[in-house]
Amino acid sequence: RLQSRAASPVRLKAPVILGTILQIAPTAAFSFSLGDEPLRPTRPELAGILISAVMGALLFAAAILAALRNSSNPQVVTRCGYSWMRHPIYLAFLAMLLATGLLVSAGLVLIGAIVVYVAGSELRIASEEEELAGDFPTEYEQYRLRTRWRYLPGLR
């Protein structure tokens, strides 16, 4: 995430609140889809879990470390995962959501969960990018043009 002015108060906007609710809602869907039997993911699901969970955890850790390195000086963070996409933490959370859905063998619930999560992420990102463009007009515009992807590789 890009560092905003340290002195400015936290501004919660309706899109951020709604987006956060939509991002959290899929975990409830997984909980309600669980039965009483033990989890028994298939081998392909286990492979997907391993790949998504590891990728998500590594991407999250790298993004947090890159942001922390710049925490004393408010500026646009462009290192690590931020050099490939503007919001790598959203992709990290999506990967963890995918791993969780595969673990509980959610099937169609997983597809719905991903759609709801992406909708929530899009709301939050639009609001965040508007705020960042206001806080860092020139720097953020240059970064946005240089870094095509928001958080889903291949999609703007």
Q: What is the pLDDT of residues 45-101, one digit of tens each?
A: 999 999 999 999 999 999 999 888 866 777 888 888 888 899 999 999 999 999 999
- What are the tokens at 60? 């999250």
Report the alpha-carbon distance of residue 149 to residue 86 in Å, rounded.
Answer: 6
Using pLDDT thresholds of 50, 70 and 90, give the confidence band for residue 34: confident
**pTM for the full model?**
0.84
User: 97-136 pLDDT, tens per residue?
Assistant: 999 999 887 788 889 999 999 999 999 999 999 989 998 9
Contact status, residue 127 vs residue 16, Cβ threshold 8 Å: yes
